[in-house]
Each structure stands twice: as structure tokens, then as C-alpha cells.
């Protein structure tokens, strides 16, 4: 059989193939199997003379190349045919209704708060969750014998220097130690404490820290900022009150409460029957903190505030149990 006749015969074989599985079988029969047609031709070369063997070898290689091209072309043709068959669908059929998700409550609140503070000239900052004692305690004016350093409150990774940050104030001290005023920034982030988990407390919780340092900053600046923030977040008719509080990082310190959104001041388990919910702590930055961060407290003054984002979210969306925010339920994004 001549090479032309052999090629014609192979083309007929390939033309009759109608599936990829069948093509692979024919490929072995024609090209690459031990007893394939082309392998038989190659073996016959050993029986030929040197001159004839050389010419036949060239012809066989040409034939192999052409057959490989034919098989590749057929393979692509069958693949496209089967792929198209699998993907075909009736475009006239009605589509299934899909659920449209939305942003989770914490993402919504963080974005709202970020927009408010960016409008007022604050930048957004962040810092590490695994923190050094230096920034988490030492520079935040928490002495070595302070109760917050005890194992029952703080989760230590490598005692006594490395821990999971207990508040986002650690980012405040990092920035004040490395940047010069004037400074305005907020820090949304996760904090960790060795807490008993119940409807209003969790070991993992989100905080939102705010800091403003400049010349001639006063308590009046702090109060005006936070009252405007509360009205932005909860509405113009939101009732707030400030109470004297102690925080090591600030002096004087103040807690800001809003009228309970669940009971409207009547008293419930969320507000612990007080009628008010404390949403943040604040105050004028302590001179010791400024000094430990390398700032001259005679020249610079400032205020800081920090709030539990989980509590803000609960009052904003009327969620009664903080554990719901950390349970992985899809109800908040569906």
C-alpha cells in the first residue's frame, strides 16, 4: 500500500469517529499503539537497505506529522461538539429567582462611621491584632500592677510581652509614637479579652477608636464631636448624656450614653434596667500617655474616644444578643 493510499485510509477511519472516546481508541490503532499502522511501517525499515531506509524514514515522518495534525483537528472538532451539547440550554425557559444579598450589619455601620469621620477630617488607621505589651499597656498609662494585665482579663501569647490586643488604643500609641501632630484618625478593629460569653459580652469583639491631637483641643471639642456623631448614627432626636468615668488613658474621662433604643428608657435586660446604654468611653488624652509617646503635653492636647462596635450595631439594628453577630448566621447577609 502506497503512502497516499494509507493516508486516504486513515482519513476514512477518522471520518467515521463520532466521540472522543472512540478517537482515543483509533489513535492507538493508527499512531501510538504497539501494533499501530505507523509503528509497523517503522519496524519494516530495518529490513530495507541503507539508501532506501533513509528515504522511507523521511516519508514515514512526514506521514506521522500529517496524521497527528488530522487527529488534533478531529479532537478539537469533537471536543467543541460535545462541549456545546453539554452547555446548550433553552433560553425561552423562565429563570430561577436568585436571592440578592446585602452587606452585613457590621460592615454597614463601619462604613457609615468612616464616612462621618472622614467628612470631619479624620483618616482611617489600622494596627496588628497581636500586640506588644509596650503599646497595649505601657504607653496607654497602664502600670505593671494594673488589674487589666491579669491573666483573667488578657489573653497572652507569650507572657509577659506578646498578647492579643485588649483595645484599639494600642494603635493610638503606635501612631502618636511615630507621627507628629496635628493628627486626626479613627481605628476600626477587633479586640480580645478573656470574657464570659453572654448576651451582652463576648471574648472577641469589635472596637472603634478615635483620636484628635492638636493645639488648644478642649473637652468642648470632644463633646460637640460625639453629640453630632450620635445624631448622625441614630437620628436627630437621639438623647445623649455624659457621665464622669475613669479610664487610665484619659483625664478627665467621660462615658456617653444614649436612651435605650429597645425600651425607650423604661428599663430592660439590654440596658440592665437603667434606661440608658453606654455606647462609648472618652476623655482628654492623659499627659502621661502623650509623654510616653514622645509628645510635649505643654504644647499638644487632644481627646480620644472608644466604643464597642458590637454594641453600636445591636442598638442600631435592634439585635438583642451579641452572640448572634459571631455565630456565622447567614440571616444578616441574605
What residue segments make up the domains of the chain, in order of their start? 3-87, 105-332
Strands 123-124, 183-192: pairing kind? parallel
Strand order in the sheet with 204-214: 123-124, 183-192, 204-214, 301-308, 276-285, 250-259, 240-245
pLDDT at 35: 47
CA 297 – CA 288 distance, rounded (Å):
8
What is the chain's pLDDT, residue by residue, as a tens digit (334 residues)? Answer: 566 777 777 788 878 888 877 878 777 777 665 546 666 666 666 666 676 777 777 777 787 888 788 888 888 887 777 655 555 667 788 877 777 777 888 888 899 999 999 999 999 999 999 999 899 988 999 878 877 666 557 888 887 789 899 899 999 999 999 999 999 999 999 888 877 777 667 778 889 999 999 999 999 999 999 999 999 988 888 899 999 999 989 999 999 999 887 788 888 877 888 889 888 999 999 999 999 999 999 999 999 999 988 878 887 777 777 777 776 666 665 5
Whether the CB-CB separation of 268 and 262 falls below 8 Å is answered with yes
Segment (H or E) for 276: strand 276-285
The three grid cell numbers given for residue 280, joined into one nine-digit string = 462609648
Cell readout for 244 is 464622669
H-run or E-run covering 123? strand 123-124
Superfamily of domain 105-332: Bira Bifunctional Protein; Domain 2 (3.30.930.10)
Per-residue cell: 173: 500609641
| Contact (Cβ atoms closer than 8 angstroms) between residue 302 and residue 181 | yes
The one-character DSSP state at 93 is: S
Whether residue 322 contacts residue 314, with contact meaning beta carbons closer than 8 Å, is answered with yes
Q: Tell me, what's the pLDDT at 2? A: 65
Beta bridge partners of 288: none
Nearest alpha carbon to residue 203 among 211, 212, 192: 192
Cell numbers given for 15: 471520518
Give dist(CA 58, CA 61) in Å, integer. 5
pLDDT number for residue 143: 79
DSSP 216: T
Q: What is the largest CA-CA distance in the chain?
A: 110
Per-residue model confidence (pLDDT) at position 333: 59
Contact yes or no for 116/229 (Cβ under 8 A): yes
Amino acid at each position: 500500500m502506497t503512502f497516499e493510499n494509507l493516508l486516504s485510509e486513515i482519513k476514512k477511519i477518522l471520518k467515521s469517529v463520532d466521540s472522543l472516546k472512540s478517537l482515543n481508541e483509533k489513535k492507538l490503532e493508527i499512531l501510538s499503539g504497539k501494533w499501530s499502522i505507523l509503528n509497523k511501517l517503522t519496524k519494516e525499515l530495518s529490513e530495507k537497505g541503507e539508501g532506501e531506509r533513509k528515504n522511507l524514514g523521511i516519508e514515514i515522518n512526514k506521514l506521522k506529522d500529517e496524521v497527528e495534525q488530522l487527529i488534533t483537528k478531529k479532537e478539537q472538532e469533537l471536543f467543541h461538539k460535545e462541549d456545546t451539547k453539554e452547555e446548550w440550554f433553552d433560553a425561552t425557559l423562565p429563570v430561577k429567582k436568585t436571592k440578592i444579598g446585602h452587606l452585613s450589619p457590621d460592615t454597614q455601620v463601619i462604613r457609615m462611621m468612616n464616612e462621618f469621620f472622614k467628612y470631619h477630617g479624620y483618616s482611617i488607621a489600622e494596627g496588628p491584632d497581636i500586640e506588644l505589651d509596650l503599646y497595649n499597656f505601657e504607653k496607654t498609662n497602664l502600670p505593671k500592677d494594673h488589674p487589666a494585665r491579669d491573666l483573667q482579663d488578657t489573653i497572652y501569647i507569650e507572657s509577659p510581652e506578646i498578647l492579643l490586643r485588649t483595645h484599639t488604643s494600642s494603635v493610638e500609641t503606635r501612631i502618636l509614637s511615630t507621627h507628629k501632630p496635628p493628627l486626626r484618625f479613627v481605628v476600626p478593629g477587633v479586640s480580645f479579652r478573656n470574657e464570659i460569653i453572654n448576651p451582652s459580652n463576648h471574648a472577641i469583639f469589635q472596637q472603634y477608636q478615635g483620636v484628635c491631637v492638636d493645639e488648644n483641643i478642649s473637652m468642648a471639642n470632644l463633646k460637640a464631636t460625639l453629640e453630632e456623631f450620635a445624631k448622625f448614627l441614630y437620628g436627630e432626636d437621639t438623647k445623649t448624656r455624659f457621665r464622669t468615668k475613669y479610664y487610665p488613658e484619659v483625664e478627665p474621662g467621660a462615658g456617653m450614653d444614649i436612651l435605650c433604643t429597645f425600651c425607650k428608657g423604661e428599663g430592660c435586660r439590654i440596658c440592665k434596667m437603667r434606661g440608658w446604654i453606654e455606647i462609648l468611653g472618652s476623655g482628654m488624652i492623659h499627659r502621661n500617655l502623650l509623654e510616653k509617646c514622645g509628645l510635649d503635653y505643654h504644647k499638644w492636647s487632644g481627646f480620644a474616644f472608644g466604643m464597642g462596635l458590637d454594641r453600636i450595631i445591636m442598638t442600631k439594628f435592634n439585635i438583642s444578643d451579641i452572640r448572634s453577630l459571631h455565630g456565622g448566621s447567614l440571616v444578616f447577609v441574605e
